[in-house]
C-alpha cells in the first residue's frame, strides 16, 4: 500500500472546539506547512477518507454525528484526536453537556495534546496515524478482509510499467503504419 503513504486523505470534524485547534489544522494545509505536498488531502466526504481528525470535546448533541461519520469511513481507518479538548474534554470538561474526549464515543488511535495543538504536533500525529493505518491494513489482509498491496504501485515497477507502455505504444505505432500502408 505504498500509494497510501503518498496520498492519505483526511476528514476534519469540529465537535465543539473553540476554533483554536481548527485554525491550526487549517494552518497545516496553508503554504507555510503545506501538507498537501505530501499528498495529504482534506476531504469533505467520509467515504473517501482514511483518517478521521476531530477537534473539540464531544457533547450530547454532536456525539451521534461523530459516530455516524466514523461509521461511514471505510476500513481500515484511524482516528486522530487533535487538541486537549478532543483528548479529554479539556477546559470544557465540566460543562453540563460535554461527554468528554472523542474516545467517549469512538475509538481513538492517536492523541495530539496542546491548547491549541501546534501544526508540527498535528503533522507528527498524522505520521503516527499512517503507521497505525498500515498495521491495520496488513492485519486485514492477513485475515482475508482486505486487498493485498498492488505491486504496480511500487516506484520501481512504475519505471518498468512506463517502459512496457512505451513498448506497447511503439508496437501500436508500428501496426498503425502497417495498416496505413
CB 55 within 8 A of CB 16: no
* β-bridge pairing 41-43 and 58-59: unpaired
With respect to ligand SF4, which residue has the nearer C-beta, 15 or 73? 15
Interface residue with ligand SF4, options 30, 91, 159, 163 (CB under 6 A): 91
The verdict on 85 binding ligand SF4 (CB under 6 A) reads yes
Name the grid cell of 45: 466526504
Q: Establish if 131 lies at the interface with ligand SF4 (CB under 6 A).
A: no
C-alpha cell at 143: 485475515
Residue 21 CB, shortest distance to ligand SF4, in Å, is: 3
Strand ranges for 23-179 from DSSP E: 41-43, 51-55, 58-59, 78-82, 98-100, 110-112
Least spacing, CB of residue 106 vs ligand SF4, in Å: 18
Nearest approach in angstroms of CB 20 to ligand SF4 is 3
Please choose, from the candidates 96, 102, 106, the residue with its C-alpha nearest in 3D space to the C-alpha of residue 17. 102
Question: According to the binding rule CB under 6 A, does residue 18 interact with ligand SF4?
Answer: yes
Strand partners, 10: 42, 51
Residue from 21, 78, 81, 122 in contact with ligand SF4 (CB under 6 A): 21
- Binding to ligand SF4 by residue 17, rule CB under 6 A? yes
**Cβ-closest residue to ligand SF4?**
20
Query: Does residue 76 have a cis bond before it (omega within 30 degrees)?
Result: yes
* Residue among 12, 84, 99, 133 that touches ligand SF4 (CB under 6 A): 84
- Should residue 115 be labelled a site residue for ligand SF4 when binding is judged by CB under 6 A? yes
Contacts of 87 (CB under 8 A, 6+ apart): 81, 101, 102, 108, 111, 112, 113
Q: Which of 20, 29, 118, 136 binds ligand SF4 (CB under 6 A)?
A: 20
Which stretches of the chain bind ligand SF4, using CB under 6 A? Answer: 17-18, 20-21, 55-56, 83-85, 90-91, 115-116
Amino acid at each position: 500500500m505504498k500509494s497510501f503513504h503518498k496520498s492519505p486523505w483526511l476528514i476534519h470534524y469540529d465537535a465543539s472546539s473553540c476554533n483554536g485547534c481548527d485554525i491550526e489544522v487549517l494552518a497545516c494545509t496553508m503554504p507555510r506547512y503545506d501538507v498537501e505536498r505530501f499528498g495529504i488531502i482534506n476531504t469533505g466526504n467520509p467515504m473517501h477518507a482514511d483518517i478521521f481528525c476531530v477537534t473539540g470535546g464531544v457533547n450530547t448533541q454532536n456525539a451521534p454525528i461523530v459516530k455516524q461519520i466514523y461509521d461511514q469511513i471505510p476500513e481500515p481507518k484511524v482516528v486522530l484526536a487533535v487538541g486537549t479538548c478532543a483528548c479529554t474534554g479539556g477546559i470544557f470538561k465540566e460543562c453540563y453537556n460535554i461527554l468528554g474526549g472523542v474516545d467517549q464515543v469512538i475509538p481513538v488511535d492517536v492523541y495530539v495534546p496542546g491548547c491549541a495543538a501546534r501544526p508540527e504536533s498535528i503533522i507528527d500525529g498524522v505520521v503516527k496515524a499512517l503507521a497505525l493505518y498500515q498495521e491495520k491494513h496488513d492485519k486485514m489482509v492477513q485475515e482475508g478482509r482486505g486487498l493485498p498491496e498492488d505491486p504496480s504501485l511500487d516506484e520501481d515497477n512504475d519505471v518498468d510499467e512506463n517502459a512496457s507502455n512505451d513498448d506497447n505504444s511503439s508496437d501500436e505505432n508500428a501496426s498503425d503504419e502497417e495498416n496505413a500502408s
